[in-house]
Amino acid sequence: MGRALYLTSGSTDIGSLVSGSPRPACFGEDFVQETGVRNKAFGADKFGLKNLKAVHWNLTEAPLYEHAIAAGEAKIVAGGALCAETGHHTGRSPKDKHTVVDALTEHSVWWGGNRKLSQEHFDNLYQDFLAHCAGKTLFAQDLYGGANATYRIRTRVYTELAWHSLFIRTLLIRPNQFELENFAPELTIIDLPSFRPDAKRHGGREGSDTMVAIDFTRKIVLICGSSYAGEMKKSVFTTLNFYLPAQGVMPMHCSANVGPDGDSALFFGLSGTGKTTLSADPNRTLIGDDETGWGPDGIFNFEGGCYAKCVNLTHENEPQIWDATNRFGAILENVVFDPLTRAPDYTDISKTENTRSAYPLESIPNASRTGCAGHPKNVIFLTADAYGVMPPIAKLTPAQAMYHFLSGYTAKVAGTEKGLVGVQPEFSTCFGAPFLPRPPAEYGNLFRKYVAEHKVDCWLVNSGWTGGQYGEGRRMPIKATRALVTAALDGSLKNASFRTDPYFGFAVPTSVPGVEPHLLYPMKTWKDKAAFDKIARNLVKMFQDNFVKFENDVDADVRAAAPEVRLAAE
């Protein structure tokens, strides 16, 4: 059995502090200062790290706060959250993610959506990472990716920033002390924002200061050049996405909750569509807000925390997220706050619109303590349609569900990404293309199999715009979206009368209690009906053009489920 190390920071005689240990933990002949708890048999030397100044193992919130503040990494804001800035990287860098090509990945990875990296380039990067760490203090967390013990991956994450260590500790699942004392990692991630890759030596993009390199064979992820903490959690998700399909588990970029009768639901959607907001329902138990597995036994959360967008966050609209964000232990990213009162200003997007809050699941009063639930009865596809032409909710046939799952549509608006002007469509297959190492059809076929086996009802929900496109119309009222989702989940919506949408072909309810009637008829919310017709037809064409790449991999009924203008405008 491994034994925990309880070491005191700053001691010159570390070995004397460990009962029964004749000498301090060391790598080669170099003394390394260590604090915290770990498996004695699995130190940093197992990863090749040498000549470190110190390693802080599995520190909890309070000491990580202290380290982050002492190093000038972050500040405490009113309410108790730790607020940090991520520099010029205020989001992920998907173009800088690379996967090693070897015997395992050459014929199994979807190279149409993943960048290749040679083994030689990865080895150069790995060795340079180890050299870069010499003399540094690192923070290490031993965590689980996956609530289901059968499918989870034991993950060790090394970071050079204390607040990054707190972030990943919050977002993954935290073992108990006995488990830490016996923890043997399968996946190792090392995150070094201060390291700058060299494109020629390391195989990254020319001119880029950032790189995420994944070796699925050795189960190593190297992240450098970016202080955006979300890269770490998405690397765990990507790894699970590679290994789980072979075990009959569908890894999904979705949130999940479960009702009092055990009726679970999945919420798919890209960033900003409402996955976190809509799954945080006070009348249902939260399973997780971003990454979920669906296997033979039901669904399970991959994470131990939530990562919510907090732009325009208010207690009135999102009370659970508000309370979880404004407390000790939460981490805020790029949130502007008053320098005197330290009160966060969630309306200020001068740093980025992608302001974020990370907090543990325990901060949500009705969050599941197991992270697991039975097979879902409902699947919700969320889209923030900035063109303002899609209805607020629609019922999908199984073939339509497969079509929209592979399409993964939403729309981006100016301000969400550097250089983005106006409205642009985004089609991210399976609602998570940047995280899919395998061909989309593998995930699509698993999804369709489980939907059919468990007779799941599928819905498309537009949480975006109505009455005009972005800049002209208004955002779909959150109360209306909640009412429609609630009606779908409690089964009452299935009893409504439906019409066939003339542009997209899916079934739209004609009336729903508590929802403004005209919202269910998108054209009626527009003053300029001709403009609506033109934009709706253009969006239909975008769907059709995007789906061409999948047509050879799906059945005829899925191809026939494509949007097509069937009737004259309403």
pLDDT tens digits for 415-446? 445 445 567 899 999 999 999 999 999 999 99
DSSP letter, residue 73: S
Q: d(Cα 388, Cα 411) in Å, to the nearest integer?
A: 10
pLDDT of residue 272: 84
Distances (CA, A) of 506 to 284, 354, 430, 509: 28, 32, 19, 10
- Catalytic (active-site) positions: 92, 234, 253, 271, 275-276, 290, 356
Q: d(Cα 240, Cα 237) in Å, to the nearest integer?
A: 5
Is the torsion defined by CA of 438, 185, 31, 6 positive or negative? positive
pLDDT of residue 2: 41
Q: Which residues contact 380 (CB under 8 A, 6 or more apart)?
A: 265, 266, 267, 268, 278, 458, 459, 460, 461, 485, 488
From first to last of its 570 residues, what are the pLDDT tens digits of the chain?
344 444 434 333 333 222 233 334 444 445 899 999 999 999 999 999 999 999 999 999 999 999 999 999 999 999 999 999 999 999 999 999 999 999 999 999 999 999 999 999 999 999 999 999 999 999 999 999 999 999 999 999 999 999 999 999 999 999 999 999 999 999 999 999 999 999 999 999 999 999 999 999 999 999 999 999 999 999 999 999 999 999 999 999 999 999 999 999 999 999 889 999 999 999 999 999 999 999 999 999 999 999 999 999 999 999 999 999 999 999 999 999 999 999 999 999 999 989 999 999 999 999 999 999 999 999 999 999 999 999 999 999 999 999 999 999 999 774 445 445 567 899 999 999 999 999 999 999 999 999 999 999 999 999 999 999 999 999 999 999 999 999 999 999 999 999 999 999 999 999 999 899 999 999 999 999 999 999 999 999 999 999 999 999 999 999 999 999 976 544
Q: d(Cα 249, Cα 447) in Å, to the nearest integer?
A: 10
Q: d(Cα 246, Cα 257) in Å, to the nearest integer?
A: 25
Per the structure block, which two tokens stand in for 103? 């015997």
pLDDT of residue 15: 30
* Exposed / middle / buried, residue 470 (Cβ in 10 Å: 0-12, 13-18, 19+): buried
pLDDT tens digits for 475-516? 999 999 999 999 999 999 999 999 999 999 999 999 999 899
pLDDT of residue 415: 47
pTM over 0.85: yes
Rounded to 10 deg, the angle between the 529-547 and 398-407 helix axes is 80
295's enclosing H/E stretch is strand 292-295
pLDDT of residue 28: 44
The three-state DSSP-derived secondary structure of 458-476 is EEEEECCEECCCCCCCEEC
Per the structure block, which two tokens stand in for 104? 């395992």
The three-state DSSP-derived secondary structure of 349-405 is CCCCCCCEEEEEHHHCCCECCCCEECCEEEEEEEECCCCCCCCCEEEECHHHHHHHH
Rounded to 10 deg, the angle between the 61-70 and 162-171 helix axes is 150
Q: d(Cα 468, Cα 523) in Å, to the nearest integer?
A: 9
pLDDT tens digits for 82-139? 999 999 999 999 999 999 999 999 999 999 999 999 999 999 999 999 999 999 999 9
Q: Which residues contact 119 (CB under 8 A, 6 or more apart)?
A: 100, 101, 102
pLDDT of residue 423: 78
